[in-house]
Structure 1
């Protein structure tokens, strides 16, 4: 029997990008059975963009912004509760090639991911092929990724095993939720996708990037997030949470404290009073998020 598939999109004030994403879904050679859109309290013309009838849309307009993590948690729960066999998570700033969904559905694997390129066709897939939570000296745990390992899509094998993912083209079967639970909404933004991938791999699932499942990213990967802003807080905090939860030895689990110390020592030189305040708040908050989410969809 053929499997059913639901698409989950999270959007926030990017109606002009969202419409291109929806157009891409409408032209898929394998039509999605449902498209769950979580609108994070947008105030632009998102509602007008979603007023279309060429897709099986299920729309949730939120009164508050739950962040990408909260949106994917909610959308995944909705798709899971509706009984779909597979769930495909995509952001509002990507456009799938016409056969992208067909290629993914042909893979008899529990966890697969499309491979991103930019609008000029250059490979920009940053999902990790190596995500090191064992070496305390690794400043950043992502030490290898598809883009740097292969350079071009043509140089890739048909499938590449991944150690983390982005919720921009990641598909999984409902059994994965049965086993590890839903995406964790408490991250708000950043690292919720990494957390989900680590849990999946530790539960025994392999994750495959599928070379011929093409996803075009409409925005460049050049948005820099200053560490003294609200986004900087989440970047610090959520990186710390991943180390606390999944560090494979005591030294790795202590690394967040070393990062805090380094930031505080360098803040007078860097002029980073806001950054120092963020890192202190981040370590305090991260300490309260050490518990790994349980299996299954959990309470509503």
Structure 2
């Protein structure tokens, strides 16, 4: 496995944050070989800015429509592995700002593991230093103390270093997810091929708003339609990960959330109730196709 790294940033209408993220990625103490920016049909200002970046490593892909985070990362990984010789791809959202030594420390961890891993997750912190997007550890997780590594079962797409052999084996993320849980589903699949680890010394700042679990009860009205994907994808994830037991548990969770909405007389309660029911029903019949690197 070569240690040439191609970075992938997926962006949608957050130009100020994107500028920070690009600058941080291009100024790592160990340089990336390439940076692919997937512009998910942002306003024209984003595409215009990308033409001004004077660095030959940057390759912008301006999409004619928004594929969601899931579609963006699927395309980014596919391009990175098909169009470069990199065996490692470093993926992140546009609100991720890696510390200058983040990639250096991820690669040090890769060396320690001698390539025997499916992915490495960075140590994600909010702007105030609190942990964020904490990965799901394995049931019998172990700590490689000397290397500051913790074995994990899944992680988010916030500064995730993914190995080519693992993706070749288990396939790409599921673009049909659009948003939410695409990273969890993908990384759980990756760990079936080889172990994965959280690299504690590889720090990144996640400039997300709030840093809390999404909640249909309290979220902005404008964001409500996307909760269809939340409930559909979550049901699918539990159904495929834990079988009938997982599907039943997720059904109970959805019914409990539905009861909260109706009994508390929530604003937009009928819209919220409809989103939960539609998402739950769709999750029962959702059977997306796993694509592979060479597949169109």
What is the TM-score of this pair, normalised by structure 1? 0.84
Asked if 1:117 is matched to 2:118, the reply is no
C-alpha distance in 1 between matches for 2:2 and 2:191: 26
What is the number of equivalent residue pairs in this alignment?
277
Q: Tell me the CA shift for residue 291 of structure 1.
A: 5.4
In 1: Cα distance, 2:98 partner to 2:272 partner: 37
Q: Deviations over 1:7-66 (max 9, x none)?
A: 011000001001011111121111111111100110152123312123511111011111
Asked if the contact 1:34–1:57 (Cα under 8 Å) also holds between the matched residues in 2, the reply is yes
Tell me, in whole angstroms, the C-alpha distance in 1 between the residues paired with 2:180 and 2:57. 29
For the pair 1:251 / 2:250, whether they are aligned, the reply is no
- 1:97 pairs, out of 96, 99, 106, with 99
Corresponding position of 1:139: none
Picking from 105, 122, 137, the partner of 1:129 is 137
Quick one: which of 85, 88, 93 aligns to 1:86? 88
Cα deviations by residue, 1:132-171 (Å, 9 ceiling, x for unpaired): xxxxxxxxxxxx9xxxxxxxxxx99711111210101111
Contact kept in structure 2, 1:245 and 1:290, CA below 8 Å: no
Q: Supply the distance in 2 between the matched residues of 1:119 and 1:265 (Cα, whole angstroms).
A: 35
Q: For residue 130 of structure 1, report the CA deviation from its aligned partner.
A: 5.4
1:135 corresponds in structure 2 to none
TM-superposition CA deviations, 1:239-270 (whole Å, max 9, x none): 101011111x4222322333343344444313
Quote the residue 1:56 is aligned against.
57
Matched, 1:282 2:279: yes
| 2:293 equivalent to 1:297 | yes
Cα RMSD between the aligned structures?
A: 2.6
The structural deviation recorded for 1:290 is 3.8
Aligned-pair CA distance for 1:192: 0.5
Q: Give the Å deviation of 1:197.
A: 1.2
Q: Check whether the contact 2:167–2:190 (CA below 8 A) recurs between aligned residues.
A: no
Q: CA deviation at 1:2?
A: 4.4
Q: Runs of 5+ in structure 1 lacking a partner?
A: 132-143, 145-154
Contact 1:13-1:44 within 8 A present in 2 as well: no
Q: Does 1:174 align with 2:164?
A: yes
- Correspondence for 2:70: 69
Where does structure 2 lack aligned partners over 5 or more consecutive residues?
A: none
- Quote the residue 1:15 is aligned against: 15
Change (3 A) 1:123 1:255: closer
Q: CA 1:273/1:48 → structure 2, altered by over 3 Å: closer, same or farther?
A: same
CA distance in 2, matches of 1:158, 1:276: 44
Which stretch has the larger CA shift, 177-186 or 55-64? 55-64
Aligned to 2:180: 190
Alpha-carbon contact 2:71-2:175 (below 8 Å) kept: yes
Does the 8 Å contact 2:228/2:276 carry over to 1? yes
